[in-house]
Structure 1
Amino acid sequence: MNSTANTFRVATYNIHKGVQGIGPARRLEIHNLGHAIEQLDADIVCLQEVRKMNRQGALRFARWPELPQADFLAPEGYTAVYETNAVTRHGEHGNALLTRWPVIRSSHQDISDHRFEQRGLLHVLIDVDGLPVHAIVVHLGLIKGSRVRQIARLREFIEREIPPEEAVLVAGDFNDWGARMRYAMNAMGMRDSSDLRGPPTLTYPSRLPVTQLDFIYARQLAPVACSVPRGPIWARMSDHLPLLTEFSLATK
């Protein structure tokens, strides 16, 4: 485990399917993302827009990985858990979780609000040094009404599937301009890890971030630090920047 024996690190990152640019300028960034995720040195990495397969990409790029992106991106010694949210003409993509801790079990729930946006939540129960931690990876809708309904379904899922005394992380791309979903998450007992005194944790767009769309919320875990890596290398790999939070292993 990184940092100290009493903390662990969580990252969330929308990787934009491992490809950046438009038209002829499109470039493959999945190999750079693999190095970047390893450099994050996070114990739990929550990923969105992860491709299981894509026939068009495999034909266009000579270095397209043979493995599904979740498995390709997992550093040595990590377990990769992936679930598909969207099936397209050329392939499928969804959410993934990478962790150096033992995975006890995982599940998936479709939370699509309408047929034009296929969305899901990935739930993974992890043994973090003897502490059961439920990590939920989300990628919420582009429409505010969809996000409100998806947060309500998230709450139903947590109340139904997770004992109230156990630790929970909810991380991902909330598409939440102005952090308006924070109130609903707080009402569930979930604290926003970036709501700490310190520099702003802006994650979007990566080249000149003006807002935070990516969040890590937690229950029964105390966040102690939150940061966003910046610089030209991070700006070119995805349209989002990763968000990193360090948590105390002492439950709150």
Structure 2
Amino acid sequence: MHLKVLTFNIHQGRGVDRKLNLQRISNIIKTTNADIIGLNEVDRYFSERSNFMDQALYLANELNMEYVYGPAVTIETLGTKNHRQFGNALLSRFPIVKSHNHPFDFLPRVMENRALLEAKVNVGQQEVTAFVTHLSLAPFLHKKQSTFILNEIVKCEGPAFVMGDWNMSPQSRTWRKVTQSLTDVWTEHNRGNQRGYTFPSTRPFRRLDYIFVTKEMKAIESKVITLDKKASDHLPLMATLKLV
């Protein structure tokens, strides 16, 4: 069975033209026909910058998908249950059986908090574990976060993959560590001039967004989606995976 997965840092739906437009994000995802989508920088009642919207809910409704949300930042708001949140989300055509959010609290309140969102998804007759994450720019935290992610993936039984904005370069020390146990879907299929650059979206020259898979999954295609380069400061990355 083939599975299309997409990772996309949506920058709260605010494009490089500074316009807040979640519909552009929805249109891109819809056109790719992806089955499971990992989103970074998703606001939930956060502030005026995103009109206090629950962005994950909006996109799930637009795309007719199930979803789970994993906050990296939560600011309690007095007098309301709708706390201000910022983090990751996962959308799925397939049933989401359960989910768990893993906050990275190595240096709370010192640096911007990050998190790892984990979801169990029923794909046909098989359960697949999907992770969505967004790692820190700080080297010390980046190292600890990547180690935490690898330790969580090791616990998985059956096929698993992790996707998101890793804020790292291919062939970096962390990338080499990750690819000792996981496969980078881009390097599996693209050579030569196909660099997989996703940032900045209008004139990309850095590969920051990745999809890594365990040995129970095989990547048969991967590509950067360039349908609308103004919708976010990142371009989405998509892969077609096969359960083996």
TM-score tier (shorter): 0.7 to 0.9
Q: Which residue of 1 aligns with 2:141?
A: 146
CA deviation vs aligned residue, 1:25-72 (integer Å, no higher than 9, x gap): 7321212112111112100000000011123236xxxxx4x7511111
CA distance in 1, matches of 2:162, 2:33: 19
Using structure 2 for the length normalisation, give the TM-score. 0.87
User: What's the counterpart of residue 28 of structure 1?
Assistant: 20
What is the CA–CA distance in structure 1 between the aligned matches of 2:15 and 2:71, rounded to whole Å? Answer: 21
The match for 1:211 among 189, 206, 231 is 206
Q: Which residue of 1 aligns with 2:182?
A: 190
Q: Residues 102 and 89 (structure 1 numbering): CA distance in 2 closer, same or farther, change over 3 Å?
A: closer
Structure 1 residue runs of 5 or longer lacking an equivalent are 1-5, 59-63
Aligned to 1:104: 97
Aligned residue among 125, 129, 137 for 1:130: 125
User: Which residue of structure 2 lines up, in the alignment, with residue 230 of structure 1?
Assistant: 226
Structure-2 residue corresponding to 1:61: none
Amino acid of the structure 2 residue aligned with 1:70: A
Could you tell me whether the CA contact under 8 Å between 1:178 and 1:211 is conserved in 2? no
The reply to whether residue 71 of structure 1 matches residue 57 of structure 2 is yes
How far has the Cα of 1:183 moved from its partner?
1.6
Gaps of 5+ in 2: 78-83
Q: Contact 2:7–2:39 (CA<8 Å) still a contact in 1? A: yes
What does residue 3 of structure 1 align with?
none
Post-superposition Cα deviations, 1:220-240, rounded to whole Å, max 9, x if no partner, equal 100000001225xx2211110
Q: Deviations over 1:147-179 (max 9, x none)?
A: 11111111222334x23xx11110000001244
CA distance in 1: counterparts of 2:205 and 2:47, whole angstroms:
34
Which stretch shows the higher mean deviation, 97-106 or 138-147? 138-147
CA distance in 1, matches of 2:212, 2:88: 17
One-letter amino acid matched to 2:198: T
How far did 1:132 drift?
1.0
Counterpart of 2:152? 157
Corresponding residue number in structure 1 for 2:81:
none
Instruction: Give TM-score, length-normalised by structure 1.
Output: 0.85
Distance change in 2, residues 1:167/1:20 (3 Å): same
Deviates further, 44-53 or 27-36? 27-36
Q: Structure 2 vs 1, CA of residues 17 and 218 (structure 1 numbering), >3 Å: closer, same or farther?
A: same
What is the root-mean-square deviation of aligned Cα atoms in Å? 1.9
Q: Which residue of 1 aligns with 2:233?
A: 239
Aligned to 1:14: 9
- 1:241 maps to a residue whose letter is L
Aligned to 1:117, what secondary structure does the other structure show? Answer: coil
Q: Name the structure 1 match of 2:87.
A: 94
1:39 is matched by which residue type in structure 2?
T
